[in-house]
Chains A and B, each alone.
Chain A
Amino acid sequence: MMTMKKQHFKVIAELWRRGLLLVAALLAFSSRVQTDGGFVELHQEVGPFVVTVFSAPGPLRAGPVDISVLVQDRSNQPVLDGEIFVRLSRKSGMTLVERATREMAQNKLLYSALINLPEAGQWELEVTIKQGKETASVLGQVSAAAPTPFLLSYWRSLLLPPIVIVMFALNQWLKRRSAHRENDSNLAFHKALEVF
C-alpha cells in the first residue's frame, strides 16, 4: 500500500516538474514585441540633440522588432517634428531602412519603427535625425538572437483550449462525484429504512 502511495506521489511530483519546465519554457519565449520602449540600446548627444534608442523585445530576436527613438534637445525637451530613419545593416551587405514615426509609437514622445529582422547576429544600427536644417546620426551595434517560434509567441491564445478542456474535465468529475455522493446517501437512507 505504501509503495503504491509512494509511486503515486512520484508520478505527481514528476507531473509538477514537467509542468513547471513547460511554464519556464513558455516564459522564456514569452517576449512579445512591444510597440515601443524596451531596452536602451544607445544614448548619445549629437549636434543639438540628445538621442536615446530603445529596442524591443529584450533581448532582441530575429523577427519583428521595434526600434524606438526619443529625440530631445539639449534642455531635455522632446523634439516632436523630426524626421527619423532607422537603418540596420549586416556585414554581408544586407540593409534594412525604415522610417520611424510617432504614429507607430505607443508613447507619442517617441518615434517608432517595426522592422522584420530576417536573421540573427550582429547588426549595425544607424539612426538619422533631421529637423529643419539640422541633421545628426547615431551609430551603434545590436545583437539579435534566434527568432521566437510563433507558436510560443502566441501561447496565450493557444493555451485557451487546453485550459477550457481541463476545466470541463474537472466540471464533469465534480458532477459525477456529487452524483455518487447523492446515490450513496440515498442508499444509506434506504438501508436505514430497511433496518426499521
Chain B
Amino acid sequence: MNQVAEAVLESWQFDLWPLILLLLTAIIYICGWRKLRRQMPQRFGASRLISFLAGLAVIVIAIASPLDAFASLLLVAHMIQHLLLLMVAPPLILYGAPYLPILRGLPSRVLKHGAGPFLASPGLQKFARRLTHPLVCLFAFSITSLTWHLPKFYELALSSPFWHEVEHLCFLGAALLFWWPVIQPWPSRAEWPRWAMIPYLFLADFQNTALAAFLIFCDRVVYPSYAVAPRLLNLSPLDDQAAAGAVMWVPGSIVFLIPIGLIAIQALSSRRGVRPSSLRVELPVIQPKQFSSSFPVRRQKGWDLLNVPIIGAALRSPRFRRVVQLSMFALALLVIADGLFGHQMSSMNLAGVLPWTHWRGLLVISLLVAGNFFCMACPFTLTRDWGRRWLPARWRWPKRLRSKWLAVGLLAVYLWAYEAFSLWDSPWLTAWIVIGYFVASFLVDGLFQGASFCKYVCPIGQFNFVQSLASPLEVKVRDLDICRTCTTYDCIRGNDGQRGCELGLFQPKKLGNLDCTFCLDCIHACPHQNVGIIATTPGSQLLHDRYRSGIGRLSRRMDVAVLVLLLVFGAFVNAAGMIGPVAALERTLQQRLGLESLLPVTSTLFVVALLIVPLLLVALCGLISRALSGSAVRWRELISRFAFTLAPLGFSVWVAHLTYHFVTGAAVVIPVFQRVANDLGSSLLGRPNWASVAMLVPLDWLPSLQILLLDGGLLLTLYASWRVARGFSTRAGGGLRLLAPWAGLAVLLYATGVWIVFQPMEMRGMPSGMQAGSMSSRMPGMQH
C-alpha cells in the first residue's frame, strides 16, 4: 500500500469520554435487547441489535477515524464526518428501537428508583411528547444544520476542540430528533399520519440542497481556515469546498429520498387495501405446568460467576486454586531471590517491580471489577498449611486479640514503614518483608486453630476485606430456603472431604465480603451446591446494619470502623507521600529543624496525617452531626456507621493511585525479566531494552480516568452516607442535618484526592531514564 495512504488509514484516535459513553450504551443496549428478545422475539430480532450497534460504530468512525484527523485540513473530510452524524448514525440507532432495550438493560434498582420517577413524571412526559413533535424536530434539525454552517460558527468549531465536540453533539441530538418521526421507533406513537413524512423529508432535503448548492457555486472560500490550510491531494480550497458541497448534495439527498420512496410505496400499498402485516407479539405467558419443567427449582439470586463456562468450572476445581497459589508462590520466591541477590535498583529488580507495581495494581483492579480474588490465590496459604502439618496448631487464638486491633496496628506500622524507609525503593527490604510474611503465616497458623492469621493478623487480608465491600461479586447463598432445611451446616463445620469456613462465616447469615477470603471452601463443602459467587450492587452492604456472621453489627465494631478509617486516610497519605509538594515540605522542615535524617520529619508528618487529623475530623463530624440533628444516637454508633460509608472514597483513591503505577509501569516487567535471565547467564529472552517501555493506556487519559474513579468513590460514599443518615432519622430534614458534616468530610477528602492527582508524581517501577525523558514533559500532573 502507498505510504501516504497507510499513514492516512493509521490516523485513528480515541477520546476517553466518548469511548466510555458509547461502550456503556452498547453494553446496556445488548443486556436489554437480550431480555426483550426472550419476551418478544419478533419485535427484537437480530436486525435491531445490528442496526443499533452499526449506528454506534458510525459515530466512532465519525469522531475517531482519519475523518476527524483530516477535518481541519480538508472540508470534504469534515463534511463526510457531519453527514455520518446527521444522516447515517441516527436512523440506524433509532431503527434499533433503543428506548425499551436501554431501560431494560439498566440494573433493576437503577431503573426503578433512579429512572422511574423521571419516567413517571407527567411534566417530563409532556416535554418529551412536545420535543418529538415533527414540527419541533424539523425546526431543530434545520436550525442546527444552518447555524453550524454559518462561517462564524464553523470557524469557532474549527478553532476549538470543545466547540467542535459541541457541534457534533448538536448535530447528533438534532438528527436523532429529526429521524424520530420518520423511523418512529417502537413503542412511540406517530403524531402525524405516515404520508406527512414525505413533505417533512422534502423540506429537509430542500434545505440541505440549498446549502450544498451554495458551497458548490460560491466563488470564494466560505470558511477562511481552509484557505490557509496546507494543500493535500492537490485540491485547491475552492475545489475542496465544491467537493464538500457535492458530498452534501448527492449522498445527502439520497439519504432523504430513500425513506421518501419507502413511505410512498407503503402509503400506496395500504390504499390499495394491502395493509402492512401487523407484527404479532406473543407475550410471555407462563403456564403452571411449564413452570416446573422449564425453570430450575432453585431460585437464582442474580448472575453467578460459577455458571460461566470454563471460569466456573475452574473455580469449582480445588486443584485450580492450588495451581494459582503455587504460581504465586513461585513468583514470591523469585521476588525474594532477586531482592536479596539481584541488582539493587528497584526499577530493574523483580522485588521492586512485581510487588509494588504489578501485584498492587492488579489487586485493586480485581477488587474493583470482581472481588477478593487475591486472597483466593494467596501464596501464604501454602505456608499456613505447612505450619498446620508440622506444628501442633492446637491453641485457640487469645480472646483479647479476637478483634481487628492487632491488624490495625500492623497496618499502621506497614504504612509508616513504607513512607519512612521507602520500601518500594528497596528490593532487599521487600524481599525480607515477603520472607517475614511467610514465617508469620507459618507460625501463626501452625500454632493456632482456624485461619487466625487471615482473620486477625494479615494486613493485606484486612485491606482486601474492607475494599471488597465495594466489589461487584460476593460469595453467598443462592437460595435461603434450602439453607433452612439444612441440618448438617457443612459450609461452616465442613465434612469428611472438605473443611468448612475457617473464618467462622456461616453462609446463611453472611452479609457482604468482610472477612471472606474467597477460599471457596464453603462452595466445595455445601452438599446442596447452594453457594455461588453472585453479582451484587457494589457498596450495598454499607447501607444497613444487620447482623453479620463472624462480624456482628457494624455499629458495634469500633475496631473494624477504625480499620476502615485507617485505610481511607491511609490511601491519601500513601498517595500524598510521593508527590512533589509533600517531598518539598519534608525537606524544608528537615532543614529548618537542622536534622540529619528525614525519618523524624516523615514519622511526625505520618502521625499527624494518619492519626491526629483523622481522629479530629471524625470526632468533629460525629459531634456536629449529633448537635445539628438533635439525634439521641450514641456518638460511637454514629461514628462506626458513617466510617464505613467513607470506604468507597478511600478505595477510589487506592485504585486511582495504584492503577496509575500499573498502567505506566506494567511493561517494565519485560526488561526486568530479561535482565534476570541475562544475570543467570541465559540469553533466551534477549537483551533488556529499557527505553522501549510502552504504557497500557494513552497518557492523556490518565488524569481523566483518575478523576473519574474519584468521582465514583465520592458519589458512592455520599449515597451510602445519605442512606445511613435516613436510617437514623426518618424525616428528610433530620437526615440531611445528620449527613451534612459527613458529606462535607467526603467532599474535603475528594478535593484532596483531586489535588494529589494534579501534583507532580514519582514514577515508581520505571527506569529513571524513561521517567525524565518522556513522561515529565507530556503531562503536568506527572512531572518530577
Contacts and interface: CB of A to CB of B under 8 A. Distances in A.
Contact of B4 (A78, A150, A151): A78
Interface residues of B, number: 52
A31 B8 CA distance: 26
A58 B230 contact: no
A108 interface: yes
Interface in A151-178: 151, 154, 156-158, 160-161, 164-165, 168, 170-172, 174-176, 178
B120 A109 contact: no
B162 A150 contact: no
Contacts, number: 127
B69 A37 contact: yes
Contacts of B317: none
B13 interface: yes
A50 interface: yes
B227 to A, nearest CB: 10
The residue among A50, A108, A160, A175 with the most chain B CB atoms within 10 A of its own CB is A108
A156 B17 contact: yes
A114 interface: yes
B162 A174 contact: no
Given A50-B230, A58-B160, A114 B777 contact: yes
Contacts of A40: 228-230
A76 B231 contact: yes
Contacts of A56: 161
Nearest to A153: B703
Contact of B754 (A105, A115, A151): A151
Interface stretch (B81-89, B594-602, B663-671, B706-714): B706-714
Given A58-B160, A76-B234, A108-B11, A98 B4 contact: no
B117 A178 contact: yes
B69 A107 contact: yes
A174 B783 contact: no
B160 A116 contact: no
A171 B152 CA distance: 39
A39 B700 CA distance: 20
A106 B704 contact: no
Interface residues of A, number: 55
Instruction: Give the dominant DSSP class at A's interface.
Output: mixed
A25 interface: no
A105 B8 CA distance: 11
B564 interface: no
Contacts of B117: 171, 174-175, 178
Contacts of B779: 64
A108 B69 CA distance: 9
A107 B160 contact: no
Contacts of A170: 118
A32 interface: yes
Interface in A88-115: 98, 102, 105-109, 114-115
A27 interface: yes
A154 B778 contact: no
Interface string A28-55: 0011111111111001000000101000
B776 interface: yes
Contacts of A114: 777-778
Given A31-B162, A43-B228, A157-B708, A150 B780 contact: yes
Interface string B205-228: 000000000000000000000001
A41 to B, nearest CB: 11
B724 to A, nearest CB: 15
B707 A158 contact: yes
B7 A78 contact: yes
Interface in B332-366: none
Which of A33, A102, A160 is the most central at the interface, judged by chain B CB atoms within 10 Å of its CB?
A160
A35 to B, nearest CB: 6
B53 to A, nearest CB: 25
B8 A109 contact: yes
8 contacts: A63-B780, A72-B230, A76-B234, A107-B66, A108-B8, A114-B777, A158-B711, A178-B121
Given A78-B7, A158-B754, A174-B121, 14 more contacts: A36-B69, A37-B73, A76-B232, A76-B234, A80-B3, A98-B777, A102-B7, A106-B12, A107-B73, A150-B781, A151-B754, A157-B707, A157-B708, A158-B711
Interface of A: 27, 30-40, 43, 50, 52, 56-58, 63-64, 70, 72, 75-78, 80, 98, 102, 105-109, 114-116, 150-151, 154, 156-158, 160-161, 164-165, 168, 170-172, 174-176, 178
Interface of B: 3-4, 7-8, 10-13, 17, 66, 68-70, 72-73, 113-114, 117-118, 120-121, 159-162, 228-232, 234, 700, 703-704, 707-708, 711, 714-715, 718-719, 732, 750, 754, 758, 776-781, 783
